[in-house]
Amino acid sequence: MQVTMTVNGAEATGEIEARLLLVHFLRDHLSLTGTHWGCDTSNCGACAVWLDGEPVKSCTVLAAMAAGHEVRTVEGLERFGELDAVQRGFMECHGLQCGFCTPGMLMTARALLDRNPSPSEQEIREAISGQTCRCTGYATIVRSVQWAAAEEAGTRTSIVDDGAP
Amino acid sequence: MQLPAPFDYERATSVDHAIQLLDRLGSGARIVAGGHSLLPMMKLRLVNVEYLIDINDLHRELGYVRVEPARIRIGAMTRHRELLDSPELRRSLPIFHDAERAIADPLVRNRGTIGGALCQADPSEDLSAVCTTLDASCVIRGPGGERVVTMAEFYRGPYETAVGAAEILTEIRIPLRPNGSSAFEKVGRRAGDWPIVSCGVAVWLDGAVITDARVGLAAVGPNTTGIPTVSRALRGRPPSEELFAEAGAIAAACCTPVDDQRGSAGYKRHLAAELTRRALRRAVARLDGRES
């Protein structure tokens, strides 16, 4: 079957089997390999992308179900050659080590800050609670999101990373 | 790569269209809503379908929470996240907010629906316990029209419901009675997991006396379990810690848990008692205004 959807603002079309998952359509048909394919059981969240503005686990959405809808992936965060504030936050605050969970974390963080520009630590932890990171212990991910929130609010006074995990 | 077995994909544009598709495609057809129970089961070949009918476009028609004077109507395509975020629902039936906070995770809640959760009929499903607790009824539509069944009639056993071959669950109706409140308690192995046991409570007071109470338990029987014996024990008595403990003991005695990877039957009975006690305590505290 043929599917057409909007991916990062551009129309994307492909000839697929109905059973193809959205994560594989993005990675294998569109070569958007920023979205990672992890547990395949909707537990780890490495495959998180936006579907019509909300983060979802693309290993548990059929590409066919996304047809006619808007998808945004980690490749769509950068604007005009400049990284998004959450991407810069992860760089500044050591929000990643191996990087496998990072694309999903970034998409969820961006969605959180769009809804709630100054989340509490608890709200950040809840927002990423469907995603697994095996490197950082989450502390630096939370700090990275806080950095981005402060950056966007214009209240950032210094880099919050003290180097400790 | 874990993919489901091959199937043909159809997309329904209205409830009537979905029913027509089910009618035409026959027993090999299955509806998918949020897909977060069905697609994993299809990947594992626990479920195989010839035709998958995607009803996500029906969110326009079936995605709603409508508060009426004597009942709340929830459209079957209402997503978990919408139930969690609904201020009306939190005010009238705080049990939903309690339960939704502990169902899966925010990303899964963005997709999963109440109708899908109920139709999955997993004995451990939290919203099924909520709906059993609240004495909800289910509106089922088919080629011959609409019918309404109680939760007890809706469940036929694990993963089996009263929804027939060419039928679709369209709405959940929950009666509203004055001077009542509700609460939900859950213990799982980790955040977002299925419950080891979860428990819903609804309670109504007249002054200092309980006029009615309902308890619904998940994961301790072939379907979610209402415990009418608890209701009889609580009616006409003033709420107290001793009464809550008595209700918990009845709930533990009336359920039928089994040993599995989530816990022993004995541990689950302990949880049934303890969670019944905690949920009663919280629901009554809400009625007293001691808790939101």
Domain segments of chain B: what residues? 8-56, 59-175, 180-287
Residue identified by tokens 């599995």 is: B260
**Residue A163 pLDDT:** 55
Ranges of chain B with pLDDT below 70: 1
Mean pLDDT for A36-59 is 96
Shared domain for A70 and A93, answered yes or no, is: no
Chain A residues within 8 A of B105 when measuring between CB atoms: 45, 129-131
User: Does A165 reside within a domain?
Assistant: no
CATH number for the domain spanning A60: value is: 3.10.20.30
**Residue B192 pLDDT:** 87
Sequence-ordered alpha helix ranges (H) in chain A: 22-24, 63-66, 85-92, 102-115, 121-127, 139-153
Residue in B closest to A65 by C-alpha:
B54
The CATH architecture assigned to B59-175 reads: 2-Layer Sandwich (3.30)
Contact B9 A56 (CB under 8 A): no
Contact A129 B3 (CB under 8 A): no
**pLDDT band (50, 70, 90) for residue A160:** low
Q: How many CB pairs under 8 A join A and B?
A: 81
User: Does A158 reside within a domain?
Assistant: no
Candidates 1.20.1340.10, 3.30.360.10, 3.90.1150.10, 3.30.43.10; correct CATH number of B8-56?
Answer: 3.30.43.10
**Residue A162 pLDDT:** 55
Give residue-wise pLDDT tens across range B226-250.
Answer: 899 999 999 999 999 999 999 999 9
The alpha carbons of chain B give a radius of gyration, in whole angstroms, of: 19
User: Does A31 reside within a domain?
Assistant: yes
Element (H, E) at B54: strand B51-54
Chain A residues within 8 A of B4 when measuring between CB atoms: 19
**pLDDT band (50, 70, 90) for residue A152:** very high
3-class SS of residue A143: helix
**Residue A155 pLDDT:** 82
Minimal C-alpha gap between B38 and chain A (Å): 9
User: How large is the ipTM?
Assistant: 0.94
Contact B105 A61 (CB under 8 A): no
Shared domain for A65 and A90, answered yes or no, is: no
Shared domain for A119 and A145, answered yes or no, is: yes
Give residue-wise pLDDT tens across range A16-25.
Answer: 999 999 999 9
CATH number for the domain spanning A142: value is: 1.10.150.120
Q: pLDDT > 90: what percent of chain A?
A: 91
Give the domain range for residue A25: 2-76
Chain A residues within 8 A of B8 when measuring between CB atoms: 18
Shared domain for A61 and A11, answered yes or no, is: yes
CATH fold group of domain B180-287 = Enolase-like; domain 1 (3.30.390)
A45 touches chain B (CB under 8 A): yes
Determine contact, residues B9/A64, Cβ cutoff 8 Å: yes
**pLDDT band (50, 70, 90) for residue A161:** low
Contact A130 B39 (CB under 8 A): no
Q: For chain A, what is the domain count?
A: 2
Residue in A closest to B6 by C-alpha:
A19
A39 touches chain B (CB under 8 A): no
Mean confidence (pLDDT) of chain A: 94
